[in-house]
C-alpha cells in the first residue's frame, strides 16, 4: 500500500480508502447492480481483509443505513491506527434522505455516531451536504457545532462533503479535510484540489469510479494522478475488486 499525507492533520492515509456504504444500505442506490446486505460475520471478515491489505481509512455516515453499527460491531479488536470518518446532517429514514443541520440535530447525530461506532473520539466528521452548500455553511449552526466538538476533543478533524464549486471555496477556510467528487466525468475541481493541497487541507475523493459506471483502472489512475488527492474512497463489496484497485493505485504511484 502507498500512503499520502492528509493535509496538515499529521495523518497518513492509504491512497485507497474504504467507502462503507455497501455494508449498510442497499436502497436508493446509484450502483449498476443491486445487492443483499452482508451479515455481521461477513462484514467482520471483509473489514479484516480491508485492514490486512493496508487500508487505514474507512468512511461511513448515518445516512448509510446500518453502516455505523456494522463498523462498531466488527472493528472492536481491530481499530488500532485506523482512521474513521462519519458525517452529520443527513439521515436515511423509511427509504428517503432527511436533512437537518440545526444545532440540536447535529449534536444528537455526533452522540449517536460515537455510540454506534463504539469510540469516544471520531477522527473526521464531515457536513453531509444536501446540495445547498452555501446555505448550509452560512445559515446553519453546523460548522460551529463541529468546531465545539473538536475543541472538546470528541472530534479530531472537521470538514465538508461538498456538492458545489462554491461550497468547496466556502468550506476551505474552516476545513481540515474536504470530501469532493472528482472523476473522468467530473473534472472541474482540479484547480480547487490543488488550492486545498497548497493550503494544507486534505482532499478525500468520493465517486472516483462514478459509483461503478467507470472502468476502474483508468478511473483510479485519473484520480490519484492529482498530487492533491490524499485518498480515493471506493465502495466495493468484493475482495477481488479491493485487491485489484489497490494494485492499480500502487502500480501508478510506483511507476
Ligand atoms: N455525499 C457524500 O458524502 C458521498 C456521496 C457518495 C459517495 N461518498 C463516499 O464515497 C464512497 C465511494 O463512492 P460511491 O459509493 O459512489 O462508489 P464508487 O466507489 O465510485 O463505486 C463503487 C462501485 O464500483 C464497483 N467497483 C469497485 N471496484 C471495482 C472493480 N475493481 N471492478 C469492477 N467494479 C468495481 C463496486 O461494485 P463491487 O461491489 O461489485 O466491487 C460498486 O458498485 C462512498 O462509499 C462514500 O464513502 C460520499
pLDDT of residue 125: 98
Q: What is the mean pLDDT of residues 59-85?
A: 91
Q: What is the mean pLDDT of residues 75-86?
A: 84
What is the value of pTM for the model shown? 0.98
Confidence class of residue 8 from pLDDT cuts 50, 70 and 90? very high
Q: Which domain holds residue 119?
A: 3-254
Q: What is the mean pLDDT of residues 207-215?
A: 97
4 Cβ below 6 A of ligand 1:
no
Is 6 a residue whose pLDDT tops 90? yes
21 Cβ below 6 A of ligand 1:
yes
Percentage of the residues of the chain whose pLDDT score is greater than 90 = 95
pLDDT of residue 81: 84
Confidence class of residue 32 from pLDDT cuts 50, 70 and 90? very high
Atom 2 of ligand 1 has which residue's CA nearest to it?
161
Mean pLDDT score of the chain: 96
CA of 138 to the centre of ligand 1 (A): 30
Q: Are 37 and 26 in contact (CB under 8 A)?
A: yes
CA of 109 to the centre of ligand 1 (A): 24
CA of 15 to the centre of ligand 1 (A): 15
Question: Which of 18, 64, 126, 182 is the catalytic position?
Answer: 64
Q: What is the mean pLDDT of residues 68-94?
A: 91
Q: How many domains does the chain have?
A: 1
pLDDT of residue 254: 79
* Residue 85 φ/ψ region, left for φ over 0, alpha for ψ in the -120 to 50 degree band, beta for the rest: beta
Is 179 a residue whose pLDDT tops 70? yes
pLDDT of residue 78: 63
Q: What is the mean pLDDT of residues 180-206?
A: 97
Is 255 a residue whose pLDDT tops 80? no
pLDDT of residue 63: 98
Is 95 a residue whose pLDDT tops 80? yes
CB atoms near residue 44 (< 10 Å):
17
236 Cβ below 6 A of ligand 1:
yes
CA of 79 to the centre of ligand 1 (A): 22
Our CA dihedral for 164, 167, 169, 174, rounded to 10 degrees, sits at -150
Distance of CA 98 to the CA centre of its chain: 19
Domain holding 7: CATH number? 3.20.20.100
Amino acid at each position: 500500500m502507498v500512503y499520502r499525507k492528509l493535509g496538515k492533520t499529521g495523518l497518513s492515509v492509504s491512497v485507497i480508502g474504504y467507502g462503507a456504504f455497501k455494508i449498510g444500505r442497499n436502497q436508493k442506490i446509484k450502483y449498476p447492480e443491486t445487492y443483499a446486505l452482508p451479515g455481521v460475520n461477513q462484514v467482520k471478515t471483509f473489514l479484516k481483509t480491508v485492514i490486512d491489505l493496508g487500508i487505514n481509512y474507512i468512511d461511513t455516515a448515518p445516512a448509510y443505513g446500518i453502516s455505523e453499527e456494522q463498523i462498531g460491531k466488527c472493528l472492536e479488536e481491530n481499530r488500532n491506527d485506523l482512521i474513521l470518518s462519519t458525517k452529520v446532517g443527513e439521515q436515511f429514514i423509511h427509504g428517503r434522505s432527511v436533512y437537518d443541520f440545526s444545532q440540536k440535530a447535529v449534536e444528537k447525530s455526533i452522540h449517536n455516531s460515537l455510540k454506534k461506532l463504539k469510540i469516544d473520539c471520531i477522527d473526521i466528521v464531515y457536513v453531509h451536504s444536501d446540495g445547498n452548500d452555501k446555505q448550509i455553511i452560512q445559515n446553519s449552526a453546523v460548522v460551529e457545532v463541529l468546531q465545539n466538538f473538536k475543541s472538546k476533543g470528541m472530534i479530531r478533524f472537521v470538514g465538508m462533503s461538498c456538492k458545489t464549486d462554491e461550497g468547496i471555496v466556502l468550506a476551505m477556510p474552516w476545513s481540515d479535510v474536504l470530501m469532493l467528487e472528482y472523476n473522468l466525468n467530473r473534472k472541474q475541481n482540479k484547480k480547487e484540489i490543488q488550492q486545498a493541497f497548497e493550503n494544507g487541507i486534505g482532499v478525500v475523493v468520493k465517486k472516483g469510479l462514478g459509483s461503478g459506471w467507470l472502468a476502474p483502472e483508468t478511473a483510479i489512475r485519473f484520480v490519484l494522478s492529482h498530487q492533491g488527492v490524499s485518498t480515493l474512497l471506493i465502495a466495493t463489496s468484493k475482495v477481488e475488486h479491493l485487491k485489484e484497485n489497490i494494485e492499480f493505485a500502487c502500480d501508478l504511484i510506483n511507476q
